[in-house]
Amino acid sequence: MRATKIQNPSAKVKGRPLMVMDVADWDQCLSDSGGVLRNRLEGWAREAKWQLLAFHKGHIVKRMDNGLMMEFADARSCLQAAFALGELAESAGPRANISKRLQLRTAAHLASYARGEDGIRGADVQLISALPALAQPGEVVVTAELRNRLADGLDADFEDLGDQPVQPPIRPMHLFRAHPRSADAPDWAAAAKHDLRPGLAVIPFASGLPEAAPWMIGELIAEGVIARLSRSIGVRVISRQSTSALRERGGLDMIERYLGATFVLTGSYCIRGKKLVVNAELAEARSHTLLWSGQLQRMVGDLFQEDSELLFQLAHAVAQALGNAQVSKPLTQPLPSLDSNLLLLASISMTHSDSVEMLQRARDTLTQLTVLHPKSALPKVWLGMWYALNVIKGKSDDAAGDTRRAREQAIRALEAEPENAIALALEGYIQCQLLGNPQKARSYLDASIEANPSEPLAWLFKSLYSTMWDSSSLSVTEAYFARSLSPVDPLRYFFDLLTGGALFADCEHEQAITYFNRSLKASKRHAPTLRMLLTAQAELGRIEEGKDTLGKLLAEVPGLTVSSYLATGSADSAIRQRTAKALRQLGLPEGGAAPAKEPTSQRPARSSRARTSGG
């Protein structure tokens, strides 16, 4: 008796990468080349099927006359396959005759769909089928949903294409063009000339647990160790934002190459009953020499305590192995639940989005977290950063009010944790950018660096201060040092902007423009980057290019005038005066606006060193 197959029409797949590779203008291509091109496509498809199974954790889910639809286990495998199969198609035709080559268009999306005996179906399947029409032959286009699962500069170099209409039906989708990773020297290499300290990378610990968010515990272990070691003057501790990008992506050689790490701490964990069991190894990256290994056990709840014994012992063991005499107390306090930590990480990412909806969600979520965790500084810091960036981007309908709200959150963060380096850096940023008070800005930024010499944002904002008020050559050094602390940061566009600003202040216009363009590739609608780029273009005499950039800026900040620009922050800054001059030169109206006033909120109580540092 034969078994009967039972179809399950309700089988659902969520969050799985789908990719389509096809030949544009297929009917025209067939008429031009006859069966030759069809035979090449069939040969490519046979080889692609083997490569997908062997190397890229993927398989074919649908064959079309002019290409293939493929499914993958993860976003990184999907993108690697896109580049590899694209190269395979290029090699499948004669080099001398481009018209007879397989020039494939590629599009990929993080999709949800239904799977049955008749294949896959759903709105996302229709969407991915339509997306290749937005790519040119040889290009790889991915949606923002898939891009968010990948690391810019590590998995690929991404170019922001903005919202694009997809037919049918007409639906705007935020798309990115993916380029194979460039062979440029990593950011940390430039900073190595200024900082001879060895780098330590703490990779988020791995787990095979089937829990809802198994990676989060590993992230919290890494964050806790980094916080406890970051005051170590003899070692450069790389930020978790960068080390997270290297999680499960290769061995010590890759970590050394992309992060500039001399030493690497890796490990794994499991939960036995109510106990958290952690296994860890510290190794020298280049020689692969094992410096220390050990196993630690504590109750699961210990991980969420400010004075976590597990994190203290783990950091202490690493510090001893590295030759440090003592371990500092934690500089940041984790939120006391996994859900809150997930929300905070998501909100930080959304704070830098260009999407109005995501920005609104970020503000609402951060506001909720400040209520849920009144004693924690981090939600207040990032809510304050949200308000500050809203003004700086030119998106605020109430610049004075948002400036006041940014300061209020910074003050509350410092009341909760007076020595929190990121809170001190935020207040310095607000004083520098929004209030134009260089003395207070310098005081807070110096205090931030003293509190945590390995905080990337402290050095990045210190570079901004030096760009606007101090030494331009020092600002370049500080910007490169900030990059070395977080070489693969998810906010790389922000680092690129301020690095370009430092180079611009140092009269390195061409290098500055390179960084501004890199920033815009990742975030094409960021108004501060557009302002700095048009200033550099105007000063080089590239007036037409500057006017084109000004047009893009006005699309993001309608109604902008020279006066409204100068009203935010201090008009005394030489950099702001240069930007105002460029705006006038490019034809922006002078307009009129009242300057922003500093809020009258009381300055937070500070430690003695914070009060006496700086100007």
Please tell me the predicted confidence (pLDDT) of residue 345. 63
DSSP, res 27: H
Q: How confident is the model at residue 2 (pLDDT cuts 50, 70, 90)?
A: very low
Is 221's pLDDT higher than 90?
yes
In the chain, where does the domain assigned CATH 3.30.70.1230 lie?
12-179
Closest CA to 468 of 584, 580, 578, 614: 578
| Mean pLDDT, rounded, of the chain | 83
* DSSP three-state, residue 448: helix
**CA of 258: how far to CAs of 87, 155, 291, 517, in Å?**
24, 11, 21, 21
Q: How confident is the model at residue 94 (pLDDT cuts 50, 70, 90)?
A: low
Is 179's pLDDT higher than 70?
yes
Q: Which helix (H) or strand (E) holds 504?
A: helix 492-505
- For the chain, helix, strand, coil in percent to 5 are 50, 15, 30
Which of 139-143, 229-233, 532-536 is predicted with the least confidence, judged by mean pLDDT?
229-233
Rounded (10°) CA dihedral 90, 93, 97, 99: -80
Q: CB–CB of 505/575 below 8 Å?
A: yes
Closest CA to 525 of 500, 502, 551, 492: 551
Structure confidence by residue, pLDDT tens digits, 585-595: 999 999 864 44
DSSP, res 12: E
12-179 — its CATH code? 3.30.70.1230
Q: Which helix (H) or strand (E) holds 277?
A: strand 275-284
Tokens of 223: 């964050």
347-608 — its CATH code? 1.25.40.10
Q: How confident is the model at residue 212 (pLDDT cuts 50, 70, 90)?
A: very low
Please tell me the predicted confidence (pLDDT) of residue 194. 52
Closest CA to 220 of 294, 151, 296, 311: 311
Q: Which of 27-31, 365-369, 403-407 has the highest mean pLDDT?
A: 403-407
In the chain, where does the domain assigned CATH 1.25.40.10 lie?
347-608
Structure confidence by residue, pLDDT tens digits, 281-318: 999 888 888 889 999 999 989 998 888 999 989 988 88
Please list, in sequence order, all residues whose beta carbon lies within 8 angstroms of the beta carbon of residue 371, skipping any fewer than 6 positions away: none
Q: CB–CB of 138/36 below 8 Å?
A: no
Q: What is the mean pLDDT of residues 435-458?
A: 93
Matching CATH number, 187-321, of 3.40.50.1100, 3.40.50.9100, 3.40.50.10610, 3.40.228.10:
3.40.50.10610
In the chain, where does the domain assigned CATH 3.40.50.10610 lie?
187-321
